[in-house]
Amino acid sequence: MNTFNYNQALTVDDALASVYAHPDAKYLGGGTNLIDLMKMGVEHPTALVDVTRLPLTRIEEYWGGLRLGAMARNSAVAIHALVRRRYPVLAQALLAGASPQIRNMATVAGNLLQRTRCYYFYDPSYRECNKRNPGSGCAALTGNNRIHSVLGGSDHCIATHPSDMAVALTALGATVQVKDANEERSIPIADFYRMPGNTPHIETSLKAEELITSVDLPAPPGGTAHYLKVRDRNSFAFALVSVAAIVELDDRKRIRSARVALGGVAPMPWRSLEAEQVLTGGEPTEATYRKAADILMQDAKPLRFNGFKVELARRGIVRALTTAAELN
Amino acid sequence: MNAENEHSDNQRDPTRRTFIEAAVLISGAAITTPVLEAQTEQALPGLRRFSLTINQVRHDLDLEPKVTLLDLLRERLQLTGTKKGCDHGQCGACTVIADGERIVSCLALAVCYEGVDIVTIEGLERGGQLHPMQAAFLEQDGFQCGFCTPGQICSAIAMLGEAKKGMPSAVAHSVSPAEPVELTEPEIRERMSGNICRCGAYPNIVAAIRATERS
């Protein structure tokens, strides 16, 4: 690991000033991804600004919804009574992610900003990685691409976003609150991540010095929810496919509203309003769910080793919607 | 009190462990001193002075910020009970307890933990008595090679604390706060999935945890 300057910030202004003072500085949350990337030689910031002591750890009611402080630990969010009662899909997604030790360390903001676990990105002995080394190519396109994207990838990058939490936040329509020296702004989660295109090293719409201060959840949607995660082993593994499903039935047992977001299949959590419109007003049956699944996966471009994800995702969507609806 | 004083307090009998610790202390001093001690402060800009509380003992340190809590424990403080397995947060061998919560010390920069109460496997005994979880691992034969055991034990102790606070799990029927935590075998296995045992001693690890929970 390279040497770096370390500053523990106690106020947001202090954190911003520290980052403005060092051109290659990075904010440090729980460190569960950034420290690992520094050990691997993927990241080499000249300065780390520890933001875990900022007064941004509260989880509180906010405009009919819930505000998750950016520095709240993943475990603190997962155990919180209001999260479990009103946004169970978020608690489920968090508990499906990582290990208990890592959930005790990782923060809300750090979870959003974690990097892909693409083998070729993570290992600098591969020169080709457009995320790590812009313009160098993508080793995964012709390499072992079993865990990679079937949706939203480009000729420059096919990495997936690894977060489970972000998939639930996408289904819930969260917004990300950020601040720099000039302004505070809200970024809807749907606009937070960027498609790789020909600039896969730019992963979010954050500006260089911007600090995430909270993630805000709107009032909870009606209905019941389920988070399904399919992976190579039953626990402590990244998703091959994950599905956050929320279904609300009306008095006649038809679908009043539904939301579906996918993880493990794309460079960002994947949601299709068209698929959700197909569900709305439909019977809560496998045929209806299958129609939505077909729409969600209609643009899938499988590669040599990840074709299995297309049908796995379709079946996962059907199963997650079925499970969610049965809880109504 | 400095690390060396604390260390000698603990040397009550000449077991294999204390012999190894003493040997590491001697060689460790020779190896680590040029890198870590304050005399090189000039050569290494950005050395940081801070203190950490580990097993109720305060340690005043001069460290590079890049030193992980795991490397501090093992290489500088000779607290070698905490093991380095993967060094990437994937195996759990380095699990310690920070303010009552289990963390992987390999992904923790020591400098970030000032003011946090750290407990390692060496800090679990009370007055020469093993912690009930340690005793249960012996009783239930909860290990084979023993390399993952300190991490398993620290993890298991903190896991019981999480369960007592009502932490749900991915295998729970529901995450509703009304749903009581019941530490069935699948629940224990899910809650301990951050600790890998390559010997496969899992059945007896689960038995040791269940025995501790019942007592």
The C-alpha atoms of residue B7 and residue B76 are separated, in whole angstroms, by 12
CA distance B169 to chain A (A): 6
Give Cβ neighbours of residue B207 (< 8 Å, ≥ 6 apart).
B140, B142
Residues of chain A with pLDDT under 50: none
Q: Is B181 helix (H, G, I), strand (E, B) or coil?
A: coil
- A101, A186 Cβ separation under 8 angstroms: no
The C-alpha atoms of residue B69 and residue B75 are separated, in whole angstroms, by 10
- For every residue of A35-80, DSSP letters joined together read HHHHHHTS---SEEEE-TTSS---EEEETTEEEEETT-BHHHHHH-
- For every residue of A87-154, DSSP letters joined together read -HHHHHHHHHSS-HHHHHH-BHHHHHHPPP--HHHH-TTS--BTTTSTTS-BHHHHS--TTS-SSS--
| DSSP single-letter state for residue A159 | P
- A312, A240 Cβ separation under 8 angstroms: yes
Condensed to tens digits (0 to 9), the pLDDT of residues B93-109 reads 999 999 999 999 999 99
CA quadruple A51, A55, A59, A61: dihedral positive or negative?
Answer: negative
Flag if A32 and B176 touch (Cβ within 8 Å): no
> pLDDT at position B45, please?
62
The C-alpha atoms of residue B172 and residue A150 are separated, in whole angstroms, by 31
Residues of A in contact with B159 (CB under 8 A): 100
Phi, psi of B67 (to 5 degrees): -75, 125
ipTM over 0.90: yes
Residues of A in contact with B66 (CB under 8 A): 1-4, 38
Condensed to tens digits (0 to 9), the pLDDT of residues A154-170 reads 999 999 999 999 999 99
- For every residue of A194-234, DSSP letters joined together read ---TT-TT--BS--TT-EEEEEEE-SPPSSEEEEEEE-SSS
Condensed to tens digits (0 to 9), the pLDDT of residues B119-131 reads 999 999 999 999 9
Flag if A35 and B46 touch (Cβ within 8 Å): no
> pLDDT at position A96, please?
98
- B96, B113 Cβ separation under 8 angstroms: no
Helix axes A88-96, A165-172, angle to 10 degrees: 160
A185, amino acid identity: R
Which of A99, A122, A230, A242 best tests the B interface by mutation, with the highest count of B CBs <10 A? A99
| DSSP single-letter state for residue B206 | H
Reported as a pLDDT band with limits 50, 70 and 90, residue B44 is: low
Residue A9's nearest CA partner among A182, A179, A167, A183 is A179
> pLDDT at position A276, please?
98
Query: For B114, which residue in chain A has the nearest alpha carbon?
Result: A8
Residue B97's nearest CA partner among B78, B77, B73, B76 is B73
> pLDDT at position A328, please?
87
> pLDDT at position B26, please?
41
pLDDT for B3 beyond 60: no
Phi, psi of A261 (to 5 degrees): -130, 145
Burial of residue A149 (number of CB atoms within 10 Å: 0-12, 13-18, 19+)? buried
> pLDDT at position B7, please?
40
> pLDDT at position B173, please?
87
pTM for this entry:
0.92
> pLDDT at position B46, please?
74
Residue A243's nearest CA partner among A255, A269, A261, A225 is A261
Residues of A in contact with B102 (CB under 8 A): 100-101, 104
> pLDDT at position B65, please?
96
Question: Between A and B, how many CB-CB pairs are < 8 A?
Answer: 120
Reported as a pLDDT band with limits 50, 70 and 90, residue B19 is: very low
CA distance A272 to chain B (A): 26
Residue A100 touches partner B, C-beta closer than 8 Å? yes
Residue A274's nearest CA partner among A293, A255, A287 is A293
pLDDT for B25 beyond 80: no
Q: Which of residues 138-157 of A touch B (CB under 8 A)?
A: none
pLDDT for B152 beyond 70: yes
